Structure 1
Amino acid sequence: MSHIVLAIGTAAITASGCVWYLPAIADLQAGEDRPRSSRTAAAACVTWWAFLAMAGGLLLAVPAWQPAVEIALAGLVAGVLLRVRALLQRRAEQREEAVRWALIDPGLAPLLARPSPRVLLGWLLVGLAVASLGAASILLAGGGPLAPRLAAAVGSAVAVSTAFLLIGLGDARHRQRA
């Protein structure tokens, strides 16, 4: 497949992702009006999309596809790390809020919700299936020694599984609140 086709596809995906990164940019611009966890999650979202856009630009500028993949994976890893940090900050904010409510009236302390195991298990199974298919396609693609393909397959499988785990945690908490 031509690099131009991949770059156009990446540009189309990045453009359609505006439904996620434009509200995230608004959260970042709001500054202290938003909780720290929301701003960190918004930074993760903007990081993912910005690195994907850079990867698309690299597909146009560089004849090899490896730099674009490396940039996209770097963005994925940075975004996942920021998202994990946002989850930890959110937990700390919930604990602080529970303490504040307990100071007002001990009977009003809100319970911290735990994610639904069935919803989380569904996301994990889908993530493992997608990660397995991606790893298998990398291994079966051929072209070069086995060791780099194996490392790429394992790395992509871990990244995809982690992404689905984070999405599943968010979805399970969202469903429980609704």
Structure 2
Amino acid sequence: MRWEDLDKQPCSMSRTLSVVGDRWTLLVLRDCFLGIRRFEAFEKRLGITRHVLADRLKKLVEAGVLVRVAYQQKPLREEYRLTERGRDLHPVMLALVHWGDKHMLGGRSAPVLHRHVGCGQLMRPVMVCSECGEAVHARDVTVETGPGWDVNGVIPERPIEG
């Protein structure tokens, strides 16, 4: 499988990675969720070259994850805002942060805390079943082919071992 062909795969993970599957894109998205919107601010925070940043932002706009919105007319200046599709990546971003807090801190404390506005408590992301509300872990899920799967593809026939 070639990297540039990921968006053509019958696998949702592959198609998702074709949009958000590199480190700079994930860091741009992190900054979007932290309220960063302008090109120069991304450039300064990330220390990324203008060319690479422009490429990642363009790709996110083309994928419908971000939208360019004018904040000044003369001269025209635009900022990048998350779309609904982009905001739907929030649970993914929280899960990555949680994994990093659990496995990559090397004994240090978490650099960023997340507080739930609804109850006011510090929180951590938890995956739950959409049907019963019970917490879901890797060993609690089996995988089946769905109607969109290519019959020539490969899929596990038993639970993923963790």
TM-score by length of 2: 0.25
**Higher helix proportion:** 1
TM-score by length of 1: 0.23
Higher relative contact order (CA 8 A, sep 6+): 1
**Higher strand proportion:** 2
